[in-house]
């Protein structure tokens, strides 16, 4: 605290002790003022600060060495307050060095968080949550190859919620080869593939669901699966001969899809071709019966199945003696 005393001084002070300006009381007050002002210039008390904060550290250093730089601030300045202490002031800090207050930022991450696909990929999870367009196919195939390169022995988990090469309204958005590309990549991997349907697995997406490793194909209780014939994309202004060529290609893709579904579901090609004449929807129970999946996932099933005793224990508890052959 600085005490300001107004002590008028004349240009030529009289030497007489009767002068009203040089009374003993005024002299003592003047000496007190000089002493307090000298101590204030020597050191300004600074409250505790965060030692990791470069701005506050610089401010404290200036306050300790040159307090007049802080006390004699210009009235009209184009520079924000106290930022002129730095050679190149920064109005914004980078995310890795924002640490203004320990109480607010002690739990703030020191680096930006990764994106969601990177977090899933770290857990060896490939999520197909869009129709099978070229961009999705490129990403999925690249992730599968990367996971095999990282560890060819650990399983890969593919979560599927896709309408295949069509949208939910039936409009074609991708060629059938997009689904076949992911299918071929899955079959070439050395890893065990776990497939899980979490929403919808329609058309080519249903083929990917059924193409998982045997015994490792799962489905959520309320997910849906559907198989259908490939759709002919819009012909637009194509000539009739080109439309015929396109139709023959669609028939070829349909036959290929029938063969692959029959192979992975355990049904005959005739059975698959018959149900595919119209869209064939399956809930989790029906999909398991048709052979698209192996298990239905729901919370608590492991405990219930572990508590179920085998038939031999039930017979033994009922007093039934088992005879060979009967």
Q: What is the pLDDT of residue 32?
A: 60
**Nearest-angstrom CA–CA distance, 211 and 158:** 11
Q: What is the pLDDT of residue 301?
A: 57
pLDDT in tens, 180-212: 999 999 999 999 999 999 989 999 999 999 999
Q: What is the pLDDT of residue 120?
A: 85
Contact 287, 195 (CB under 8 A): no
Question: Which domains, from first to last, does the chain contain?
Answer: 116-302 (3.90.226.10)
Tell me the mean pLDDT per 10 residues along the chain, length 326. 45 47 58 56 56 69 72 58 54 47 50 72 90 92 93 92 84 86 94 93 94 92 90 72 84 93 94 92 93 85 58 66 56
**Nearest-angstrom CA–CA distance, 133 and 252:** 20
Q: What is the pLDDT of residue 263?
A: 94
Q: Is the pTM of this model over 0.85?
A: no
**Nearest-angstrom CA–CA distance, 72 and 70:** 6
Other residues' Cβ atoms within 10 Å of the Cβ of residue 43:
11
pLDDT in tens, 83-141: 555 555 454 445 444 444 444 445 555 666 667 777 888 889 999 999 999 999 999 99
Q: What is the pLDDT of residue 98?
A: 45
Q: What is the pLDDT of residue 208?
A: 96
Q: What is the pLDDT of residue 183?
A: 95
**Nearest-angstrom CA–CA distance, 21 and 167:** 98
């Amino acid at each position: 605290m600085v005490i300001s005393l107004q002590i008028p001084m004349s240009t030529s002070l009289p030497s007489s002790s009767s002068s009203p300006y040089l009374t003993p009381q005024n002299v003592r007050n003047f000496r007190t003022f000089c002493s307090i002002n000298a101590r204030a210039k020597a050191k300004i008390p600074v409250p505790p600060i965060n030692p990791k904060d470069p701005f506050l550290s610089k401010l404290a250093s200036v306050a300790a060495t040159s307090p007049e730089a802080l006390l004699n601030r210009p009235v009209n300045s184009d520079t924000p307050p106290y930022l002129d202490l730095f050679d190149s002031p920064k109005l914004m800090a980078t995310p890795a060095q924002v640490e203004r207050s320990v109480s607010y930022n002690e739990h703030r991450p020191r680096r930006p968080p990764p994106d969601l696909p990177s977090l899933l990929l770290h857990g060896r999870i490939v999520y197909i949550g869009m129709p099978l367009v070229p961009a999705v196919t490129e990403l999925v195939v690249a992730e599968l190859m990367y996971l095999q390169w990282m560890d060819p022995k650990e399983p890969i988990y593919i979560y599927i919620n896709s309408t295949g090469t069509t949208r939910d309204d039936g409009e074609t958005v991708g060629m059938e080869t997009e689904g076949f590309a992911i299918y071929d990549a899955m079959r070439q991997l050395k890893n065990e593939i776990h497939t899980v349907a979490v929403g919808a697995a329609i058309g080519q997406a249903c083929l990917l669901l059924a193409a998982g490793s045997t015994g490792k194909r799962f489905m959520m209780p309320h997910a849906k699966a559907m198989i259908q014939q490939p759709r002919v994309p819009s012909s637009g202004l194509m000539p009739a001969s080109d439309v015929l060529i396109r139709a023959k290609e669609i028939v070829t893709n349909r036959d290929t899809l029938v063969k692959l579904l029959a192979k992975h579901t355990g049904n005959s090609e005739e059975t698959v071709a018959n149900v595919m004449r119209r869209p064939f929807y399956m809930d989790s129970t029906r999909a398991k019966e048709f052979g698209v999946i192996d298990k239905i996932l729901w919370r608590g099933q492991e405990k219930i199945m572990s508590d179920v005793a085998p038939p031999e224990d039930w017979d033994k508890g009922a007093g039934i003696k088992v005879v060979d052959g009967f």
